[in-house]
Amino acid sequence: MPKKKQHNSRSAKIRVRKVKLLSGKTIIEFEKMNGEAEVLWDSLSLTSSAEPVPEMKIAVKSLAPAVCAMLELPDEWERNLIVHSVMMRYNDDDMTPCGAIIGARKVLKHGSSPFNFNSPYRPTTAKDAASALPPEAVSLIDEVQEHALDFINGKRGQEELFPDTLTNSITHSPEQTMFDEHKGQTL
């Protein structure tokens, strides 16, 4: 898998470890590089009631066929399968995921709660292609990672609710103004 270029707008190196989308909650666990000569990673977590952009939800949901293929589940499971998390692993100080585990749940006809499970770990590349993540899944995981980085940096699902012309006419509190001025900066 070719190395993905890092966003130019981000001054700090951040790699996403886990994205979990629950009803009314977005959870992102990530690492931020701390140090140059000696590479150290700080582990951070972001839990928000803000919705992610719809494209992130679609990318996570679109991993259902990959989960069915990895677990050798019947194709009809895809309809009732809800993918809710992606856990990414990295090699040493690499910024590109080397593999992933996908969390999902299946709605049961005769149960009061769903059947929750994780896929086995699958690398992004392997000598035996059958033991690696499908290429479509690798692309979707990359997309989830990009949306998660945007979420960390303030891009949310409701961002387009108010066009710039409207928000410029609204008076903000000093705290909100300070937040808006620093919005483009990395954590």
**DSSP per position, 4-48:** PPPPTT-SS-EEEEEEEEETTEEEEEEEEEE-SSS-EEEEEEEEE
Is the model's pTM score more than 0.95?
A: no
- pLDDT score recorded for residue 59: 96
- pLDDT score recorded for residue 164: 53
- pLDDT score recorded for residue 3: 45
Q: Can you state the percent helix, strand and coil of the chain, rounding each to 5?
A: 30, 25, 40
pLDDT digits (tens, 9 = 90+) for 73-102: 998 888 889 999 999 999 877 888 899 999
pLDDT digits (tens, 9 = 90+) for 49-74: 999 999 999 999 999 999 999 999 99
Q: Distance (Å, rounded) from C-alpha 68 to C-alpha 37?
A: 43
Tokens read off for 153? 């940096």
- Residue 154 zone, left/alpha/beta (φ > 0; ψ -120 to 50; rest): left
Three-state DSSP class for 80?
helix
Tokens read off for 154? 């303030």
Q: Distance (Å, rounded) from C-alpha 71 to C-alpha 186?
A: 38
